[in-house]
Each structure stands twice: as C-alpha cells, then as structure tokens.
Amino acid sequence: MKKKIFENIKTIIYALLIALIIRSFLFQPFYIPSSSMEPNLLIGDRLFVSKYSYGYSRHSLPFSPGTSNKRFFDKKPKRGDVIVFKTPADNKTDYIKRLIGMPGDIIQIVNAELYLNKKKIKRNKLDIKIEINCGSEILNLNLFEEELPNGVKYLAVYRNNDTMQQTDEFIVPKNHYFFMGDNRDCSKDSRFLGSVGYVNFNNFVGKAEIIFFSNDKKKGNFFKFWRWYKSIRTDRFFNKIK
C-alpha cells in the first residue's frame, strides 16, 4: 500500500515538473481579458504564447523570480509581432499588444494617423460593419487595414470622431520597444508613459501564436461547459495570430 502511494506521488511530481518545463520554456496559455486588441483578439480568446521566440528572461519562469536581469538565447522581435510582456510599472502584470516601434524609432499620431519615423503608416479603410467594445461601451468607429514598413498587415480600429488627434513624438530608447493595442482608442499601451510606456526587452514573455479556444462571456461562462453550445466561437479555434 505504501509503495503504491509513493509511486502515485512520484507520478504527480513528474507530471508537475513536465508541465513546469513546458510552461517555462515552450508554450504558455493566456486569456484575453479586455477589448484592447479587438478586432483581432476578442475577450474570451485563449491562446498559446511561445516562450522561446525571443529567448528567456526571469519573466519566462513562474512568479518572475529575481534571479537575473539578463536575457538568454535572445532573438530580436519583428515589427508587428503580437507579444505578451510584463508591464514596466510593476513587472508582474501581463499585457498583450502589437509591437510598433523598435529601439531608436520615432512614433507620433498626427491628425489621427499613425506616423513611424516621420512617414505615415499605410492604411486602407474597409467598408465593413463591425461591433467593437470598450468595456461596456460599444464604439462608433472606422476599420482600417494597416501595413507596417516590413509588410506586416493587420486590422486596426479608430473612433469616428478621432479622439486621439495629435501626440508628441515618442522616441524609443535603446533596448526598449513601443507597443499599441489594435483597438486604438481603448488601449492602455506605450502611449501612456506613466503606466506602461516603453517596454524593456527583458520584460518580454513570449509571442502570441495561436488561439486554441474562444468563448463569449456574455453568453456563458468557460467553466459552465453545459452552456458552451451558446458561447463557444468555434470559428476562432486554431486561428493563427497575425
């Protein structure tokens, strides 16, 4: 009897160790709690983030132990990547945004249009009706397909009344990056220097890769599986994140 209990404990320990290794060095699941990345990521999306995409830092490990301020086996990100990072304000909270500015870049919004290094980002207005949220508010907005200088295309939305008309220039410091949410008027991101600001490379957790599950919280809770038929969005399963 004792031997059987011991074997069961060993099995559990091995399983936990394997799960810890996968979570720390390969893939980690994340949940989308806000509308800041709509229309590309919706509240209720569950996705896998690759931990190896940019190498490893202390934030690759659970609870971000203060063992080192270095990054190991680092690989540089690409402009347009959707990335999970720890906010500089507390080094604990996970945010997910799109990488817009690289070290040394100049970012500015002029007349409600995004400029990168003094050049306007290409964008094409789409005549598509789409419902976008900001908390409990449904936004009146314009939908665009934007294209970054490296050819990455994605959807972005702006309010019809262009609430963010002008900004100062944001000059990205060395070893830091500038992030924005695709839901431009409902995203706390690098434009807000006091709360998010420029993100150090060591704060990167990983690259958002694929949606593996999605459910609409308004129609049913994830844990109430008997109501999944009303809330799950099967059309989003296994969608690659762009």
Model pLDDT for residues 71-119, shown as the tens digit of each residue = 777 789 999 999 999 998 888 889 999 999 999 999 999 888 899 999 9
Query: Model-level pTM?
Result: 0.84
Nearest in space to 206 (alpha carbons), one of 74, 65, 20: 74
**Which structural domains are found in the chain, ordered by start?**
2-234 (2.10.109.10)
* pLDDT of 2 higher than 70: no
36 is catalytic: yes
Q: How far is CA 42 from CA 92, 102, 198, 214, 232, in A?
A: 22, 26, 24, 8, 12
Average pLDDT, the chain: 85
Name the least confident of 20-29, 37-46, 54-63. Answer: 20-29
Name the least confident of 77-91, 190-204, 222-236. Answer: 222-236
pLDDT band at 129 (very low <50, low <70, confident <90, very high): confident
The answer to whether the Cα torsion of 195, 197, 201, 204 is positive or negative is positive
Among the listed residues 34, 57, 60, 97, the single catalytic one is 97
Among the listed residues 34, 35, 36, 60, the single catalytic one is 36
* DSSP, res 236: G
pLDDT band at 159 (very low <50, low <70, confident <90, very high): confident
Name the least confident of 63-77, 111-125, 155-169, 193-207. Answer: 63-77
Percentage of the chain beyond pLDDT 70 is 79
The side-by-side arrangement of strands in the sheet containing 122-126 is 122-126, 141-147, 153-159
Element at 12 (helix H, strand E): helix 2-25
pLDDT band at 210 (very low <50, low <70, confident <90, very high): very high
Record the tokens describing residue 93, joined without a space.
Answer: 């909270």
Name the least confident of 44-53, 81-90, 134-143, 221-230. Answer: 221-230
